[in-house]
A and B are shown apart, each in its own frame.
Chain A
Amino acid sequence: MIIANSLVKSFGDSTAINGIDLQIKKGECFGLLGPNGAGKSTFINMMYGTVQRTGGNLSVFGYDPNIDSRKIKKRLGVVTQENALDESLTVFENMMIYCSFIGLPKLDRKDRINELLKYMNLSHKKDARIQMLSGGMKRRLVFVRALLGNPELLILDEPTTGLDPAVRHLLWGKVRELHANGTTIVLTTHYMHEAEVLCDRLIILNHGKIAAAGSPQKMIEEHTPGYMGIFSLDEKETIKKILSTKNNFIHHEDSSGIYLRSSTLPELTSIHSDYGLTPLQIRPSNLEDVFLKLTGQELSIDA
């Protein structure tokens, strides 16, 4: 459905996307994971021609977005990174304008809007001005807008950034539902957990290049298998002692704590039983660990 070959985008002399190869299949939920400035939005925008690629090939639904962007745009819905709603208009007015832009038949508009407002739990806000909505409501409304045309492909550019956990979980539920109903989804995020929960496959993007690709489980197995114990920085001395006697831990530390990874759980818990150290956390290794390993710590701070 989407094929990129050696895709490049330069803005003047800075390169935002630097040679990307990927394929996204119909029905898949595909994630682009990366810190701020990694090139996620640039890639998304290239898919429908708002950013014109400067090198390589890109095909969406078999069309070249540099040329046939309108044909592509008719078949997709986008949750843009910025909400871009008309603040002075009501929820309903905003959606009516979009119905007219995407050319939805006049008679269907009202029903479609009502149906989607209900789906996103916004029916009670139908006549409220955008100014009166909370951040989470606005975000849900942008989802409604993206879904008005019943798109085959749904693009989500940082759909949950800055939202509280309740709204985030609600939106995840909706994304899963849409995915289950066969909508192809391309999602960008800098929340590892979000990618892990939602995506069938993903790439980790760093400085415009693919740092890793695959399913979340495969990536974890490949790069950071096992379990992670996180210890307080105050325990530095003890940990040093442990590491000098045991060499089956993979160790790194940053300002948030000391990280020890091991292939089995008992090895980690033995630290508690043998040395009396209580870890801040013991958990299965996750995408965040993969991410930190592959992209270096300085980036997680940027993100």
Chain B
Amino acid sequence: MLNLSLSFSTWMESVRLCFHITLRNWTVYKKDLIANISPTIADPALVLVSLGLGLGSFITNVEGMTYMQFLAPGLTVATALFTSFFESSYGFYVRMTYENVFKAMLTTPIGVREVVIGEMLWVSLKGAVMAVGVAIVLALCGLMINPWLIPATAIVGLLVALPCGAIGLLSTALVNNINQFQSVYSFIIAPLYFLSGIFFPIANMARPVRIVAEFFPLIHGVRLAQAIFWDKGIAHAFMVSGSILIFQSLVFCSLAYWKIKEKLIA
């Protein structure tokens, strides 16, 4: 009984510390809110205008809808991908290597577990908020069949940001210098972005590419977002793609924790 209550209080303290790490990131982030938030808004807007309006005028029918309608769910998911990946790769790397944030943090009761969970909590909350933000804009453009489903995009944002953030964190642990993120971006993130069914139907992709893409979170997030935006088979999508995303989150987060621990504890 004593043991149980003891471990419960340890557990509660751990939760409290994770929460404070998230809060710390928010405090720093909001200092430069405009600069931090603008790419997240500007990037999907650019894609929507250039591809949606430009390319879209040539493509009149994708799976029975306009190209803009087809593109909308993917943009929400891409936002969650980029915001989480960049935060936990470049962002975390800078905090770790140049700002020595964790050297000071680890002198407090905070351990590596809290650092990783706090960071993942932060990127997934950010992913959720950004996804909702983009979804609101898209819904205002009339690209969401049922705007009452906007809150559901928060779950998509969260479920995509979590594993993508973990991939970012994992790459932080593996790169030898900050320039190597460029390779991670060019060889993993960018291909995922273009080959996960955001820009054209998944069925049109070459089979090997499709199989590889299944192992990464993006494609499942796209399916989930499409179900929500098109109001089609939502329950099924949450059950299948949602479960896969949760599973992938667990795998990538565990790998990231294991590797980051080697970086922070010598």
By a beta-carbon cutoff of 8 Å, the part of chain A in contact with chain B is 11, 45, 48-52, 69-70, 73-74, 76-78, 80, 82-89, 93, 97-98, 100-103, 145-146
Contact = CB atoms under 8 A, between A and B. Distances in A.
Report the contact-size class of chain B (Cβ under 8 Å from the partner).
20 to 34
Interface string B19-48: 010011001100110000000000000000
B17 interface: yes
Interface in B66-119: 99-101, 103-111
B266 interface: yes
B108 A102 contact: yes
A89 B31 contact: yes
Interface of B: 13, 16-17, 20, 23-24, 27-28, 31-32, 99-101, 103-111, 264-266
Contact of B107 (A80, A86, A97): A80
9 contacts: A50-B264, A70-B109, A76-B107, A78-B104, A80-B107, A87-B99, A89-B31, A102-B108, A103-B109
A97 B20 contact: yes
Contacts of A49: 265
Contact of B266 (A45, A48, A86): A45
Tell me which of B16, B23, B105, B109 has the highest count of chain A C-beta atoms within 10 A of its own C-beta: B109
Contacts of B106: 48, 50
Given A89-B31, A97-B27, A73 B265 contact: no
Contacts of B266: 11, 45, 50-52
Nearest to A46: B266
Contacts of A83: 100
B265 A50 contact: yes
A135 to B, nearest CB: 15
Given A84-B101, A103-B16, 20 more contacts: A11-B266, A50-B103, A52-B266, A78-B104, A78-B107, A80-B100, A82-B103, A84-B99, A87-B99, A89-B27, A89-B31, A93-B27, A97-B20, A97-B27, A100-B20, A101-B20, A101-B109, A103-B13, A103-B109, A146-B107
